[in-house]
Structure 1
Amino acid sequence: MRNPKPRRLNAGTVGAAVLGLIVLVTLLAPVLAPHDPLAQDLAHTNAAPGEHGYLLGTDQLGRDLLSRLLHGARTPLLVGVLAVLCGGVFGTALGLAAGFARGWLDQLLSRLTDIQLALPSILLALLVLSFGGRSTAVLVLVIALTGWPTYFRLVRSRVLALRTSEYVEASLTQGVPAWRVAVRDLLPGVRGLVAVTATLDLSRAVLMEAGLSYLGLGAQAPEADWGLMVSEGQGQLLSSWWIAVLPGLGLVALVISANLLGERLASRRRGATHLPTTATRTV
């Protein structure tokens, strides 16, 4: 009897594990952090990793870098998840409406999407932040506004294909309200697509939050935020490289893990859609 071949560790599993670890460590940051991330030790500024009892060193104000790294993922993750959620719900709702109603509503929403995509994301962010101020809520709104067109286009395309399905036509023929047809018959057909898109979109949202914080438009000092920490440490790369490099590596790990997980989910979904099925929908 042949021994079964060992299961290979795929990139999606690694991405899920790394992403889960980052989320877990972030949630446990108050317990795991050895120091207050805002506490200053001016006697030991720019301490190298391992010096004076600081495992990863200190920054230019003597703040423990390990503690700031543990707390610094909170804002990117919180803002990223909320922005993906808001942008996904908004874009999915408009995509359902446009694909189901078609006609003038579809044309109007599609043109608005084209206009939105024609505007650079950073320009739109600057415009919103200049009027709305710098807060977490406004930051979530900015990133959500730049992300909803992706969901709209994907969901609209899928709904247009499902709109001509027999079970949808049967529901409409029987006089089922349009909103109920959209929720009961069409929404289940796009949920998997939206979930995969949201996973991939998380890396974009995290990077945008970090970029805005790097430019001084997101998180503000003395808050611990990976993008802000990279900005604060960039001027000391030659003398105290750990201040900027370590939070930068954290961002790289977060973005790559989210992308690997999203790509894995996308490939599984593409494989599943090609599987033959004999299931039929009963109206």
Structure 2
Amino acid sequence: MSAPVQAIDARAGANRRRPVQGVTGGVLLAVVAVVTLGAPLIAPYDPLTQDLTSVLRPPSAEHPLGTDQLGRDVLSRVLFGGRTALGVSLVATLVATVIGVGLGVLAAFGGRWWDVTLGRLADVQLAVPGILLALVVLAFAGSGLVPLVVVLALSAWVLTFRIARVHATFVAGQPYIEAARIAGASTAAVVRRHVLPAVAPLVLVAATLTFSTVLLLESSLGFLGLGVQPPTPDWGEMVASGQAQLAGAWWVSIFPGIALVVVIVGVQLVGDRLAERFSVQGRAER
């Protein structure tokens, strides 16, 4: 078989795999969403109920994922912990996306001063590790869901901002935008009718990356004891609470860790598929 034919076959195989990967990621996320949202109906036990007679029991028919150091059912805590981790991360991602898009459009249409100022602010933000910013803010603001969401959003808005600014600047220079202005359209109308629809696909792709970053940061803060506070179940806090018993009671940390990995893999697969679909090559192939 000649090299060009082999290249064509390889590309065709890759094109067939990409939709499958996207579907796989979507199925993973759908399953996680169903079991976490349905946790009150699915969980076999109350995630906060302690049973000191069933401490650190291995997985069994009675406790499919075992129990932790306080006798709480790990399966129930993983399900309810997903509601906490995913809910906080989703809200923070939405806030970060709104901030990023708003500031990106402002930088593109607000003049050079806004563009330079916001660009420098984004550079400063990138120079500071997200975990360090979170530690400093939470040390002063204290623990709680609202400070946690705020610090997660402030740590993750830059990616969306940069994408929105670049694409909004490109759209602002198009002839049809000038024609709309000549016709009397206001800046707000131009942004609403032309800029936001053009930016939306790229922002959607960026949101998948932002969600993964936010979820990892939220879990890291929970691991350090600065995220969602006990006894509320949270994946990061569960991994931390079981690390001391990892050798003899591995299930306490491993199962919430697996849940975290499944979600991140699912989001990345969906994000890769969306990126391919909305790319220039993806549009040409369709």
Q: Give the structure-2-normalised TM-score.
A: 0.91
Asked if residue 134 in structure 1 is aligned to residue 143 in structure 2, the reply is yes
Find 1:207's aligned residue among 216, 219, 222.
Answer: 216
The answer for the alignment partner of 1:189 in structure 2 is 198
Once superposed, what is the RMSD of the aligned Cα atoms? Answer: 1.8
Pairwise CA distance, 1:263: 0.7
The answer for the alignment partner of 2:39 in structure 1 is 29
Give 5+ residue unaligned stretches, structure 2.
1-15
The answer for the alignment partner of 1:72 in structure 2 is 81
* SS of equivalent residue, structure 1 residue 10: helix
Find 1:268's aligned residue among 277, 280, 286.
Answer: 277
* SS of equivalent residue, structure 1 residue 147: coil
- Of stretches 69-78 and 268-277 in structure 1, the one that deviates more from structure 2 is 268-277
**8 Å CA contact retained: 1:84, 1:198:** yes
Q: Which amino acid aligns with 1:40?
A: Q
Partners of 1:171 and 1:127 in 2: how far apart?
Answer: 46
Q: Which amino acid aligns with 1:250?
A: A
Pairwise CA distance, 1:25: 0.4
Partners of 2:102 and 2:281 in 1: how far apart?
Answer: 24
Q: Which amino acid aligns with 1:118?
A: A
Find 2:70's aligned residue among 57, 61, 64.
Answer: 61
**8 Å CA contact retained: 2:22, 2:272:** yes
Q: Which amino acid aligns with 2:276?
A: S
Partners of 2:148 and 2:22 in 1: how far apart?
Answer: 29
The answer for the alignment partner of 1:149 in structure 2 is 158
Partners of 2:172 and 2:280 in 1: how far apart?
Answer: 23
- Number of residue pairs matched? 271
**8 Å CA contact retained: 2:242, 2:252:** yes
Between the two proteins, what is the percent identity of the paired residues? Answer: 44
Partners of 1:237 and 1:131 in 2: how far apart?
Answer: 32
Q: Which amino acid aligns with 2:183?
A: Q
Pairwise CA distance, 1:204: 1.0
Find 1:15's aligned residue among 25, 32, 43.
Answer: 25
Relative to structure 1, is the Cα distance of residues 239 and 272 closer, same or farther in structure 2, using a 3 angstrom cutoff? same
Give 5+ residue unaligned stretches, structure 1.
1-6, 278-283
Q: Which amino acid aligns with 2:225?
A: G
Pairwise CA distance, 1:131: 2.2
* SS of equivalent residue, structure 2 residue 156: helix
Please give the per-residue CA displacement for 1:148-176, whole angstroms capped at 9, x wherever unaligned. 11111111110111111111011112232
- Of stretches 192-201 and 172-181 in structure 1, the one that deviates more from structure 2 is 172-181
The answer for the alignment partner of 1:124 in structure 2 is 133
Please give the per-residue CA displacement for 1:163-221, whole angstroms capped at 9, x wherever unaligned. 11111011112232112111111111101111111122211111111000000000112
Please give the per-residue CA displacement for 1:16-44, whole angstroms capped at 9, x wherever unaligned. 10011101100100000111111111111
Please give the per-residue CA displacement for 1:219-248, whole angstroms capped at 9, x wherever unaligned. 112111111000000011110000001110
Find 1:259's aligned residue among 254, 259, 268.
Answer: 268
Partners of 1:239 and 1:121 in 2: how far apart?
Answer: 33
Partners of 1:185 and 1:230 in 2: how far apart?
Answer: 46
Find 1:103's aligned residue among 102, 106, 112.
Answer: 112
Pairwise CA distance, 1:250: 0.6
The answer for the alignment partner of 2:121 in structure 1 is 112
Partners of 1:216 and 1:276 in 2: how far apart?
Answer: 48
Pairwise CA distance, 1:142: 0.6
Partners of 2:81 and 2:114 in 1: how far apart?
Answer: 43
Q: Which runs of 4+ in 1 moved over 2 A?
A: 271-277
Relative to structure 1, is the Cα distance of residues 37 and 186 closer, same or farther in structure 2, using a 3 angstrom cutoff? same
* SS of equivalent residue, structure 1 residue 238: coil
Q: Which amino acid aligns with 1:30?
A: P
**Larger helix fraction of residues:** 2
